[in-house]
Amino acid sequence: MRYTIVICFFLMVCSPAIAQEALPADTSFETRRGWVFEFDPNDQPYPDYIADPRSPQMQLGFAMFDTDIPDTSAGRFILDAGTRYTVFKITDPKGKDDFSLDIAGCLFTQFDTGNSLDNVGWDGFYGVFLVYDWRDTITLRYGYRHLSAHLGDEYIEATGRKRIGYTREDFALGICYQMKEDIQFYFEPSYAFHIGNHDRQERWAFEAGFQYQGPHDMWNNSTAQYAGIHFRSFQETGWNLGTSVQGGIHIKRSAGSSNWRIGFEAYTGRAILGEFSQEYDDTYLMASVMFDFY
């Protein structure tokens, strides 16, 4: 598993440089009626949920856990490799409303520092979303999401635990309201049309939160403060609320290159890894570095 960590770290470190060198060409055009089509745009109409532990991102973090999961230690390396990518954006003739298509994917992993960096488990995620942005005030997205949870091979060998087959495929409707220029509120219910374990899983879930992105007025106008709080709850675990809080600094670079976030995150609620989420709870504090492509 050390090789997996090295590969993920290499991808995370190299991706900003790659993005900076490969600046996108002008791929926009305007129709006779004034509609503007832009492929591979430099911005996304729908915001990321910055405090969501399952937001697709490139992340390297170290966390201290207080967890019920047996045969695990307190220290974990968190390695996430993924992103949400806007394929195209369409702007109306008045330049006020946007439509876009997003695709997303991510590999979420945890490595146990007290057990030779054994992989405790990993979740794979992908999705596709249609987005409508009404005058930069209310933004809607509707899409399909798939999450499949797995146990680490070393954890299976050490404990003899078997997978419960946690898989969730759902349709989600996200609503984001721009309360002020730098404050957003969002709410996203979802309904799973396919679940992997009918004995333990249920159909409904929701997530919601507030987030703040300050102005880039520090360090030559490149750096801003940010903060967010995210709530998640599932019918299958009695609607018990999971809460995560994240805050730190956001470093903005040139168009076409990656942005950086350096932050601290605290979480308490049902276990983050899907294979443990039905039985155990997690509480952790994490420091991490994240790369954003937008």
- The total of structural domains in the chain comes to 1
Mean local confidence (pLDDT), 174-203: 96
pTM of the model: 0.88
The conformational region for residue 220 under phi > 0 = left, psi -120 to 50 = alpha, else beta, is: left
Q: What percentage of the chain reaches a pLDDT higher than 90?
A: 80
Confidence of residue 26 (pLDDT cuts 50, 70, 90): low
User: What does the alpha-carbon distance between residue 16 and residue 19 come to, in Å, rounded to a whole number?
Assistant: 5
Token reading at 29 = 């055009």
**Binning pLDDT at 50, 70 and 90, where does residue 3 land?**
very low
What is the residue range of 13's domain? 2-292
CATH code at 108? 2.40.230.10
> Distance between CA 231 and CA 173 in Å, rounded?
16
Tokens standing for residue 27: 């791929």
